């Protein structure tokens, strides 16, 4: 379906600020791709505040994004039915466990309707809440299979912790409990971009024990981008895949308004991250998210929000290209 947006409609300072100027429709049954905001910060809120403001910041700037994906040669907005289903209502925002339940129910509704969710967080705890609602036994999106996880991040988030500052299903352990639940298949999954000085020398061991492929930044620099992309495709294979993009995988110089910054080791450039996401082109991408934006720390030109919007667009384009194939 062709869009009738004019150039002037993509100026971001007027109109209703839906994500990427998509029509707002809360019923996911009317969408092939459901865009959602997840204004959640109690999964890491004690140390890194204001991540719940991420969706609003991306709503603000994303209208500005140009509509065509140049490398793929098409406009996802013209090709698929993409709707903004709104933000997950989180009236008990300080209660992490209740928020996780609400997020899970919201995304289960999207998956049950047959739409593929692409969302903007929120702290990284949202990924556990989302994936336990859309993957695994009974899932319409994955035919009951666990998902392969393509996880770009400076940290593994698979720490075996009873809680993080009181949050039980937290931003620190979602990548652990999703495997234990059977909602993520670690044998098909990768965690890429881990860097910085750790708290312990064994900080990656929980991920190895769970069965993840881990590509630390040192290994990435050693084997290079092309070999990493090959590794990603081979590992995921024909599994349904969920993409989770923690903005702290990027270098802080290009994405400064992000929680848990790692400033001591160079992070990915935008082009490197683009290439890794594009390496799964054509695979069965069932959804994804971009997390850990902290708009209150952004520069006056909203650069981090714009980068977040860009990577949301990359995920939308992956899903849309597969749907139209």
Residue 246 binding Mn ion, by CB under 5 A: yes
- Please list the alpha-helical segments (H only) found in 11-84: 54-62, 76-79
- Could you write out the DSSP letters of every residue in 248-313? GGB-TTT--SBTT---SS--B-HHHHHHHHHTTTTS-EEEEEEE-B-GGGS-TT-HHHHHHHHHHH
Strand-by-strand arrangement of the 241-246 sheet:
82-87, 33-38, 116-121, 285-291, 241-246, 148-152, 190-194, 213-216
Nearer to Mn ion, 65 or 183 (CB): 183
* Total chain residues near Mn ion (CB under 5 A): 4
CB 78 within 8 A of CB 85: no
Binding segment for Mn ion among 6-14, 154-162, 186-194, 225-233 (CB under 5 A)? 154-162
Nearer to Mn ion, 46 or 81 (CB): 46
Nearer to Mn ion, 48 or 157 (CB): 157
Shortest CB 157 distance to Mn ion, Å: 4
Nearer to Mn ion, 77 or 177 (CB): 177
Residue 169 binding Mn ion, by CB under 5 A: no
Residue 40 binding Mn ion, by CB under 5 A: no
Distance of CA 210 to the CA centre of its chain: 21
Shortest CB 171 distance to Mn ion, Å: 6
Shortest CB 156 distance to Mn ion, Å: 8
Binding segment for Mn ion among 40-48, 53-61, 152-160, 294-302 (CB under 5 A)? 152-160
Shortest CB 152 distance to Mn ion, Å: 9
Residue 153 binding Mn ion, by CB under 5 A: yes
Residue 124 binding Mn ion, by CB under 5 A: yes
Dist. CA 175–CA 166, nearest whole Å: 18
Nearest by Cα to 290 from 132, 124, 46, 169: 124
Nearer to Mn ion, 65 or 207 (CB): 207
Binding segment for Mn ion among 23-31, 92-100, 117-125, 306-314 (CB under 5 A)? 117-125
Shortest CB 265 distance to Mn ion, Å: 16
Residue 272 binding Mn ion, by CB under 5 A: no
Shortest CB 231 distance to Mn ion, Å: 20
Q: What is the dihedral of CA 173, 289, 241, 86, to 10 degrees?
A: 120
The answer for residues whose C-beta is within 8 angstroms of residue 264's C-beta and 6 or more apart is 196, 197
Shortest CB 228 distance to Mn ion, Å: 18
Can you give the binding site for Mn ion, defined by CB under 5 A? Answer: 124, 153, 157, 246
């Amino acid at each position: 379906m062709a869009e009738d947006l004019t150039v002037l409609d993509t100026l971001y300072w007027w109109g209703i600020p839906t994500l990427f100027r998509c029509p707002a429709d809360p019923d996911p049954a009317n969408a092939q791709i459901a865009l959602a905001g997840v204004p959640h910060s109690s999964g890491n809120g004690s140390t890194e505040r204001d991540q719940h403001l991420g969706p609003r910041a991306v709503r603000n700037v994303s209208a500005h994004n140009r509509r065509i994906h140049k490398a793929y040669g098409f406009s996802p907005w013209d090709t698929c039915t993409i709707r903004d289903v709104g933000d997950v209502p989180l009236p008990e925002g300080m209660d992490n466990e209740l928020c996780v339940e609400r997020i899970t129910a919201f995304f289960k509704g999207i998956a049950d309707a047959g739409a593929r969710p692409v969302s903007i967080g929120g702290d990284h705890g949202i990924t556990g809440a989302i994936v336990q609602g859309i993957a695994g036994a009974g899932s319409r999106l994955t035919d009951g299979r666990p998902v392969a996880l393509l996880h770009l991040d400076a940290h593994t988030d698979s720490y075996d912790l009873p809680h993080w500052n009181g949050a039980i299903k937290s931003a620190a352990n979602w990548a652990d409990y999703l495997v234990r639940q059977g909602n993520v298949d670690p044998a098909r999954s990768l965690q890429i971009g881990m860097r910085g000085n750790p708290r312990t020398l064994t900080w990656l061991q929980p991920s190895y024990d769970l069965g993840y492929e881990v590509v630390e930044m040192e290994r990435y620099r050693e084997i290079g981008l092309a070999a990493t992309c090959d590794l990603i495709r081979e590992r995921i294979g024909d599994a349904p895949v969920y993409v989770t993009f923690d903005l702290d995988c990027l270098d802080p110089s290009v994405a400064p308004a992000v929680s848990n910054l790692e400033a001591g080791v160079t992070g990915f450039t935008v082009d490197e991250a683009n290439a890794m996401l594009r390496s799964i082109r054509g695979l069965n991408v069932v959804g994804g998210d971009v997390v850990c934006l902290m708009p209150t720390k952004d520069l006056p030109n909203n650069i981090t929000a714009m980068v977040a919007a860009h990577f949301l667009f990359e995920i939308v384009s992956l899903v849309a290209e597969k749907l139209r194939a």
